[in-house]
Chains A and B, each alone.
Chain A
Amino acid sequence: GQQVMQIPQYQHVQEGEDFTTYCNSSTTLSNIQWYKQRPGGHPVFLIQLVKSGEVKKQKRLTFQFGEAKKNSSLHITATQTTDVGTYFCAGPRAGGGADGLTFGKGTHLIIQP
């Protein structure tokens, strides 16, 4: 079945450093979503990318969708302590969106002040 893989699993950075997490799918995706989960909290939607090669920015966060629509990345510039949490990518399960989403295992961002 479809797999969505994320790397790295953990990332330790000093506050102010940049951070990137990568997401790769075994199949072409119609769209990809990114979520953030704070420690002890629930996943919260960040963004959805739909078009091949799409790049979207939210303040210090930059999201990219690959040309082949099989990979994506999230880059955070100049991390802050508020960025701590786990970042998940998610794509439609094989068979389309009506079958739910498949989530990557997430990247845990740990920031040292």
Chain B
Amino acid sequence: NAGVTQTPKFQVLKTGQSMTLQCAQDMNHEYMSWYRQDPGMGLRLIHYSVGAGITDQGEVPNGYNVSRSTTEDFPLRLLSAAPSQTSVYFCASSYSPLSAKNIQYFGAGTRLSVL
């Protein structure tokens, strides 16, 4: 049971490039989300999804797109990378969006540098 798998683990981009961070979970979880982690800022929610075909914005959605065509996959797209998007990105999933069952399982993270 792999849990939440993120690829790539590391990425360096030039300003203006686009890329997709991949996230897949094999736990049949309804709820998936993307966070970014910056020093001193904790984890900030970018986008989330309560099920296939449904996505919504979190705290810091600008510059990112998501889609959820299947239960398993929740890719995060950077449309035109900027240095401010240098961060560690974590994908997480949980069984249900209901509060009592919203325990998050995190992937190992993608460390992104934008030059």
- A, B bound: yes
B98 within 8 A of A: yes
Q: Decide if B103 touches A100 in the complex (CB within 8 Å).
A: no
Nearest chain A CB to B106 CB, angstrom units: 4
Q: Mark B101-115, 1 if CB is under 8 A from A, else 0.
A: 011111111000000
Q: Does B81 contact A (CB under 8 A)?
A: no
Quote the shortest CB–CB distance from B54 to chain A (angstroms): 10
Selected from B40, B48, B59, B106, the residue in CB contact (under 8 A) with A43 is B106
A97-B98, A98-B97 in contact; A104/B42 too (CB < 8 A)? yes
Q: How far is the CA of A79 from the CA of B57 in the complex (A)?
A: 39
The list of the 5 closest CB pairs from A to B, nearest first, reads A97-B99, A105-B42, A98-B97, A103-B43, A42-B106
Inter-chain contact A42/B104, CB cutoff 8 Å: no
Question: How far in angstroms is the closest Cβ of chain B from A111?
Answer: 20
With A9-B40, A44-B106 already in contact, the answer to whether A100 and B98 are too (CB < 8 A) is no
A residues bordering B, Cβ < 8 Å? 6, 9, 30-31, 33, 35, 41-45, 48, 50, 88, 90, 92-93, 96-106
Residues of chain A within 8 A (CB-CB) of B109 are 42
- Report chain B residues within 8 Å CB of A44: 106
Counting chain A CB atoms within 10 Å of each CB, the highest count among B35, B97, B102, B104 belongs to B102
Residues of B within 8 A of A103 (CB): 35, 42-44
Interface size on B, residues (CB 8 A): 27
Q: Do B103 and A88 have beta carbons less than 8 Å apart?
A: no
From known contacts A100-B48, A101-B104, infer whether A43 and B43 are also in contact, taking CB-CB under 8 Å: yes
Q: B99 near A31 (CB under 8 angstroms)?
A: yes
What residues on A are CB-neighbors of B41 within 8 Å? 105
Which of B40, B90, B103 is the one whose CB lies under 8 Å from A33? B103
Specify the chain B residue showing the minimal Cβ separation from A86.
Answer: B42
Check if A42 sits within 8 Å of B42, measured CB to CB.
no
Name 19 interchain pairs, CB-CB below 8 A, sorted by A. A31-B100, A33-B102, A42-B90, A43-B104, A43-B106, A44-B106, A48-B103, A50-B100, A90-B104, A97-B97, A97-B100, A98-B98, A100-B58, A101-B45, A101-B102, A102-B45, A103-B35, A103-B42, A103-B43
Interface string of B60-104 (1 = CB under 8 A from A): 000000000000000000000000000000101000011110111
